[in-house]
Amino acid sequence: MNNQQLVALAQKYGDPLYVYDANKIEEQYNRMANAFSTVNKLKINYAVKANSNINILKVLKKLNSGVDCVSIQEVKLAIEAGFNVKDIFFTPSGISFEEMEQAVNLGVQITLDSLSILEKFGNKYPTIPVCLRINPHVMAGGNHKISVGHIDSKFGISIYQIEGIKDIVKETGLVINGIHMHTGSDIYNIDAFLHATEILLNTVKEFDTIEFVDFGSGFKVPYKEGDIETNIEEMGITLSNRFNEFCKEYGRDLTMIFEPGKFLVSSAGSLLVKVNVVKPTPNIVFIGVDSGLNHLLRPMMYDAYHHITNISNPEGTEKIYDIVGYICENDTFGSNRSISEVSENDILCIHNAGAYSFSMASNYNSRYRPAEVMVYNGEDYLIRKRENFDDLIKNQVIIDLE
């Protein structure tokens, strides 16, 4: 979408506003499917946590995607979006056994990531096949907060506990039908990923009942011009060759699974915000906008970079600004940014806001969460209404203290 189209959407639906390009999501999905097209059995499971709007899920279902869910609520959203339970994979961590039992009752594919839950599950549901999430003890990802496969991570069963897994399987008769790993987000080092892959495949060899291997995801997307990204095409060639070779060694065609979130939806999303104030100080010119960490937490939580442009005045003289939010915290979207000259009421576009953006939004400072719009084949659709005051108080129970 060009600047004029985005400004028109902000005028039509108000601001701040999340806008998603569904055709871009399709493009990313097809790019990934093509990269691994030489694998006989490939399944792409969209990571719902990245963006859980039901309409985004519907777009992916139309592409024959499956889904990866980390909560029972995400499972129910996927069912609401029309996914068959056989295409829903449940990969939680640290949940109650009661929540796990809800997943059992719904009939989705379950992944377990602790020995204690594995034993408890095996004793109660020995006839239900499960996947194992292992921790390969490989440090990969953009930073420590989004690296989840290292030795001190809470996720997965350590590769050093394989014998414990096999003891539980022997005692309970439980069938292990899949092996899973996820090393982290923003992975661009293919060698590190391939190293973890060998650990994963070696784990598969420990069991003779495996039907699929889930490689997780976390592929890095570019956040600015010239930014490093995962070369998905190169990885596709290398990893597909290794996987096909392994299937021959194992004696059957296994299904290769990925669970991308950011890779599919990040670049499809934009957050449009209006400039409330241009505030010069002795050292910095602050641009205060009608949004904050309550709408987009990633820059503050992960030190994530999001490119920011002035779509109201794209050809203006570039000046240096700090773009900040309206929350009573240091909610800085970008520091020392070169942007076309900004005036009050201009619309700025915060790019790559399709993943882990609205899904992490809150009502902090009692602010409303924004509306969401999806553009598909040239048509725009409101897919979430803007909140109002009634939404803030609808679940509060007002008591009489007189």
Residue positions forming the annotated binding site for pyridoxal 5'-phosphate: 218, 356
Q: What's the rounded Cα separation, in Å, for the pair 44 and 234?
A: 18
Contacts of 163 (CB under 8 A, 6+ apart): none
Separation in Å, CA 211 to CA 105, 168, 227:
22, 19, 37
Structure tokens at 148: 């989840």
Binding site per annotation, positions for substrate: 298, 302, 329, 356
Binding site per annotation, positions: 218, 298, 302, 329, 356
Phi first, then psi, for residue 285 (nearest 5°) are -105, 110
H or E element at residue 213: strand 212-214
How do beta strands 212-214 and 17-21 pair? unpaired
Do 43 and 253 contact (CB within 8 A), yes or no?
A: no
Structure tokens at 243: 């996987």
Do 138 and 199 contact (CB within 8 A), yes or no?
A: yes
**Active site (annotated) includes residue 131:** no
Measuring CA to CA, which residue among 364, 362, 304, 360 is closest to residue 332? 304
Q: What's the rounded Cα separation, in Å, for the pair 232 and 31?
A: 8
Reduce the DSSP state of residue 116 to 3 states and report it.
Answer: helix
Q: What's the rounded Cα separation, in Å, for the pair 183 and 115?
A: 19
Q: What's the rounded Cα separation, in Å, for the pair 27 and 144?
A: 30
- Tally Cβ neighbours within 10 Å of residue 176: 24
Q: Among residues 131, 247, 328, 349, which one is catalytic?
A: 328
Q: What's the rounded Cα separation, in Å, for the pair 3 and 266?
A: 18
Contacts of 393 (CB under 8 A, 6+ apart): none
H or E element at residue 59: helix 54-62
How do beta strands 109-112 and 88-90 pair? parallel
Measuring CA to CA, which residue among 131, 123, 79, 81 is closest to residue 102? 79
H or E element at residue 168: helix 162-172
Residues with catalytic roles: 328
